């Protein structure tokens, strides 16, 4: 049985004294990724979601959409006909995993 992946992270609002308006405040995204626990997730996420990033408050909705899009990708098992023939002989074949949108 496959357990759904969960992206663990902190999202904070850095209220800088230099910010002259509510919209100028910066968001700070800090992923809390564990190499073992999040092995499958790390294969799906774009690189920028595996590192700390900062962005203005006005980009928060766009950021959320990117996270949802990344987490919504389907992982499909692709099987090659030649590999399927190997199964008939009792030969073990590794699954080939591809990510599709």
Residue 82 counted as domain residue: no
- Give exposure, 43-63, as e/b (b: 16+ Cβ within 10 Å): ebbeeebeeeeeeeeeeeeeb
- Return the closest-CA partner of residue 20 out of 60, 56, 71, 65: 56
Residue 45 counted as domain residue: yes
Residue 3 counted as domain residue: no
The least confident of 2-11, 37-46, 79-88 is 79-88
Identify the CATH number of the domain in which residue 24 sits: 3.90.1150.80
| Residues of the domain holding 67 | 9-72
Residue 63 counted as domain residue: yes
Residue 77 counted as domain residue: no
Is it the case that residue 57 has pLDDT exceeding 60? Answer: yes
For residue 15, give Cα distances in angstroms to 5, 11, 41. 31, 13, 31
**Report field, pTM of the whole predicted structure over 0.85:** no
Q: Say how many domains are in the chain.
A: 1
Residue 79 counted as domain residue: no
The pLDDT tens digits of the residues spanning 15-55 come to 766 667 777 789 999 999 999 999 988 888 999 999 999 99
């Amino acid at each position: 049985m496959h357990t759904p992946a969960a992206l663990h992270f902190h999202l904070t609002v850095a209220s800088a004294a230099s910010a002259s308006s509510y919209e100028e405040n910066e968001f700070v995204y800090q992923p809390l990724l564990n190499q073992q626990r999040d092995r499958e997730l790390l294969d799906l996420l774009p690189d920028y979601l595996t590192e700390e990033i900062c962005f203005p408050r006005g980009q928060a909705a766009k950021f959320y959409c990117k996270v949802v899009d990344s987490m919504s990708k389907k992982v499909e098992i692709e099987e090659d006909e030649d590999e399927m023939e190997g199964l008939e002989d009792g030969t073990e074949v590794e699954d080939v995993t591809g990510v599709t949108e």
